[in-house]
Structure 1
Amino acid sequence: METLNQIFTWLSNHESGFSALAALLVIIGVTLSPFGSGLRRALGRRAQNLQIDKDMAPDADQLSGQHHTNGPRVLSDKPSVAVLPFENLSGDTEQAYFSEGIAEDIIVALSKLHSLFVIARNTSFAYKELEGQGGNLGKALGARYIVQGSVRKVGERARINAQLVDTESDEQLWAERFDRDLDDVFLVQDEITAKVISILPSRIEAADLKRTHNKPTNNLKAYDYLLRGKYHHHLRTRSDNTMAYNLLSQAVEADPSSAQAYAWRACVIGQALFRGYRDDEAATEEILQDLGKALTLDDEDFECHRVFSGVYTIQQNYDRALFHAQRAFELNPNDPRVISQYGELLVLVGDAEAGIDMQKQALQVDPYSPDDRLTHLGFAQFAGRHYQDALDTFKKISSLDVKHHAYLAACHAQLGDSAGAEREATELSKLDAEFSVDEFVTQLQYKNDADSQHHIDALRLAGL
């Protein structure tokens, strides 16, 4: 509790450039979505009373006209592309971090383009065992085009092979080998990204193309430490967490101007606190120091806007929440967290139809994590009064908890199925005998009283 309070105290005085906080909040499992009831209970009134500097965010009148009830829509005609983790051909398994890191950077670059539909890293990396199966892989990922390759790192040189494949025809559209000094690895990433973009049937504006260039550091040694630190962080064990911290500290030492090094080190410390690897007071102070440093080095990041949107949602400052959600989506329209959070916010402010479309898009981009995406979609469908659709969605979830049974009971009740409503209410009671309708709906933080009342009435109609 004290750790969260200190973080949010720091947050209340800053409103830009802290992508480290976004990473921290994701990794330690603190969601800023309407389903983050645990966070709301932990923060209590404190979250409602946060005072963020008004001079650093637009006023409500500046935001008028920016949000349209139609909202963003899924564009099915976009070229869909997935980037698989590059194969490590170095003969040393410890070099896997380098090949996977290159692929991850290419995903981030392509994801910033509105004219492309890019499969999330979480999904594309999970399907790497299907590599080489062409159409089967494309169908599994939902991607027409696949970028894949390999990396052989020897000393201060790297041989990078990359290719672009059309999964419908199994045709290799492009392939190239890059034999370069390691100092040129950023240029190779840019060349691969640019080549993929030039071949795909889409129109890329020059300004958009510029956004794909992302050099996390000018120091190759620092970049190597950064990639290795991120790799061990993703493994989540105690020993890997310690290794990640040490590597990222070396990245900071090698390049004190690398915002990403500070950001990821804060993330690693947050993981240690959440998983019980550390419980010392110094950990919290380290997080805050790293966040402050990242802030001064990088004042524009889509993660920053995503987190601020969540903070303002907790405050029920919906105008500013929408501003930051829209900005995050503009900066990265293919990140499933950005899409999903934006969709949830649209539902809360009364635009359920747009929220439904956004949640469907998030599920398309990241089908490997269906339960979370389906939960958000079902919520949007229920709020939009599409009860049968919501039932169908929630029934696809592999593991149902209290909130799922609550929605299922409410949907059955609204459809006149009293037996179904009673069945779900009974299952809910087994999991939470002290379930409170008012508390459940209040935690969702609807903007409009009519939406809150609709939800309350549906739950009570189900006998809850």
Structure 2
Amino acid sequence: MNFFTELKRRNVYKVAVAYAVVGWLLVQVATQVFPFFEIPNWAVRLIVLAIVIGFPIALVIAWAFELTPEGLKRTEDVDRATEKRGKSHAWIYVVAVGVAISIALFILGRRMALNTASAARTDAATGSSISQKSIAVLPFENLSDDKNAAYFADGIQDEILTKLASIADLKVISRTSTAKYKSKPEDLKTVSQQLGVATVLEGSVQKAGDKVRVNVQLIDARADSHLWAKTYDRDLADVFAIQSEVAQEIADSLQAKLSPAEVNTLATAPTKDTAAYDLFLKGEYEQRLADSSLKAESFDQAAAWYRQAIARDPNFALAVARLVQNRIARHWFIEQMSEAELTQVRSMAEQAVALAPNLAQVHVALGQFYYHGYRQYKHALAEFERALQLQPNASAALEYSGYVHRRQGQWDRCLAELKRAFEADPRNASLAANVSNTYMPLRMWKEAGQAAKHSLELDPYAADGMRTLLGS
């Protein structure tokens, strides 16, 4: 008897087709359903392997045995006439149903794969848009027994951030935005997305007498994994060295390219007098309260701390610059100074620049004086531009440049600068509202409304955002 005829008689062909269909069906179920239940991939591979191994076994069984109404029998024992009369085509329906289910699962799987791939591309695009050389320095936790020493922990964080901001090869988020977070937020991936950074620096400070301990850890925020961590146990007099070392290690870890001037900035201490620095940090803490409350007494208390710091170290340029900014902010928001007082503040601003011409903050302070004190926009812009040359991440200089150009009617330029400033300060509701305000004269109503809504998302009580949203 012809071999192929015998294969047909023994239903080997039918079994092969049915096995292939059912096997394909099982593979589709495994590949599409298992991931939904988070069943590991090795289980899918095991099923595929079992199907492959089982195929020749099924063919051998189909050759040797026959399924009859009386049960499984050897093919040689089956009565030919009975077999012929009892022949059924039910297997065709089984195969048809199997094929239909397989096709349905295949189509479903392709759609799920496309959706997954699309989501993956979106995530990848979001991740790839975040620079590897980007960082946010989160608030440092105060672990000192004296809970009133929070100002010192804030100061350590702020100085490290300022040093990093001087590196052109890094994207550094402004303190205004990082201050919105806890010292150790639970969901770093969300922080990464909200701030647009790849890494965050967490830290804590413990001050006791003339000793200080600083713990820092650099974290890949997207993967929530530690890159490095270090503890510094030093004398209080070495606090400036700690700040420089941390900034340098971060720059090295992120493979940032530093110019000789930037290397010098990282190594430079704002003062050599630790007592003056402590007084300065108390002034900074009070100044932040003044900026948020706009209370005259807070401005005056901050000014008193700055003056004490300057009295201990008359060459403390940063303290002089911050005193200038303090006086000008009070002049702008609280009570205008007399001409004599403005002249005195101008003298202080120029003194700060003379003491430290390569310090970005002194140029921002002088620029603010020209802007808020005398509306001398050309001089103000020159100082802000110099500040940005010295500290590329100086978002305040960008922001003030935008405000000056807005007063000059240069709306497009103003918008570009405020948007750049917002990239470095993405949780600043006031800045978002000002971006919205700038869209309106350009008749970009849709963008103005979106920016105003975003401002209110950042701060539901932002008055600027409410006004702009109503106007748009």
Scaled by the length of structure 2, what TM-score is found?
Answer: 0.60
8 Å Cα contact 1:89-1:150 kept in structure 2: yes
2:266 corresponds to 1:212: yes
Quick one: which amino acid aligns to residue 235 of structure 1?
L
TM-fit CA distance, 1:149:
0.8
CA distance in structure 2 between the aligned counterparts of 1:360 and 1:239, rounded to whole angstroms: 33
1:213-362 map, 5 Å: 213-236=267-290, 240-270=298-328, 287=345, 290-291=348-349, 293-306=351-364, 307-308=366-367, 311=370, 323-343=382-402, 356-362=415-421
1:233–1:283: structure 2 CA closer, same or farther, 3 Å change rule?
Answer: farther
CA distance in structure 1 between the aligned counterparts of 2:170 and 2:325, rounded to whole angstroms: 29
Q: 2:234 aligns with which of 168, 174, 180?
A: 180
TM-fit CA distance, 1:315:
6.9
1:380–1:201: structure 2 CA closer, same or farther, 3 Å change rule?
Answer: farther
**Cα deviation per residue 1:67-117 (whole Å; 9 max; x = unaligned)?**
xxxxxxxx9646221001211111111111111101000111111112111
TM-fit CA distance, 1:395:
5.2
TM-fit CA distance, 1:160:
0.9
1:357-396 map, 5 Å: 357-376=416-435, 379=438, 383=442, 388-394=446-452, 396=454
Q: 2:225 aligns with which of 171, 183, 197?
A: 171
CA distance in structure 2 between the aligned counterparts of 1:183 and 1:357, rounded to whole angstroms: 43
SS of the residue corresponding to residue 149 of structure 1 reads strand
Partner of 2:153: 99
2:174 corresponds to 1:120: yes
Aligned length: 332
**Cα deviation per residue 1:263-301 (whole Å; 9 max; x = unaligned)?**
333444556666769989996676456445434423344
Higher relative contact order by CA 8 Å / sep ≥ 6: 1 or 2? 1
Quick one: which amino acid aligns to residue 211 of structure 1?
T
For the pair shown, which has the larger CA radius of gyration, 1 or 2?
Answer: 2
Quick one: which amino acid aligns to residue 308 of structure 2?
Q
Partner of 2:5: none
TM-fit CA distance, 1:234:
1.9
1:121–1:80: structure 2 CA closer, same or farther, 3 Å change rule?
Answer: same
SS of the residue corresponding to residue 128 of structure 1 reads coil
SS of the residue corresponding to residue 161 of structure 1 reads strand
SS of the residue corresponding to residue 218 of structure 1 reads coil
1:79–1:382: structure 2 CA closer, same or farther, 3 Å change rule?
Answer: farther
Partner of 1:133: 187
Quick one: which amino acid aligns to residue 191 of structure 2?
L
CA distance in structure 2 between the aligned counterparts of 1:277 and 1:394, rounded to whole angstroms: 29
SS of the residue corresponding to residue 230 of structure 2 reads strand
The answer to which of 340-349 and 363-372 deviates more is 340-349
Quick one: which amino acid aligns to residue 256 of structure 1?
P
1:187–1:129: structure 2 CA closer, same or farther, 3 Å change rule?
Answer: closer
Partner of 1:7: none
CA distance in structure 2 between the aligned counterparts of 1:355 and 1:191, rounded to whole angstroms: 37
8 Å Cα contact 1:378-1:389 kept in structure 2: no
8 Å Cα contact 1:165-1:172 kept in structure 2: yes
TM-fit CA distance, 1:379:
1.9
1:90–1:268: structure 2 CA closer, same or farther, 3 Å change rule?
Answer: same
Quick one: which amino acid aligns to residue 203 of structure 1?
K
2:257 corresponds to 1:203: yes
Partner of 2:247: 193
Higher helix residue share: 2
Which blocks of at least 5 consecutive residues in structure 2 are unaligned?
Answer: 1-128, 457-462
Scaled by the length of structure 1, what TM-score is found?
Answer: 0.60
Give the share of equivalent positions with the same residue, in percent: 27
The answer to which of 145-154 and 362-371 deviates more is 362-371
SS of the residue corresponding to residue 180 of structure 1 reads strand
Quick one: which amino acid aligns to residue 335 of structure 1?
A
Which blocks of at least 5 consecutive residues in structure 1 are unaligned?
Answer: 1-74, 409-464
1:312–1:130: structure 2 CA closer, same or farther, 3 Å change rule?
Answer: closer
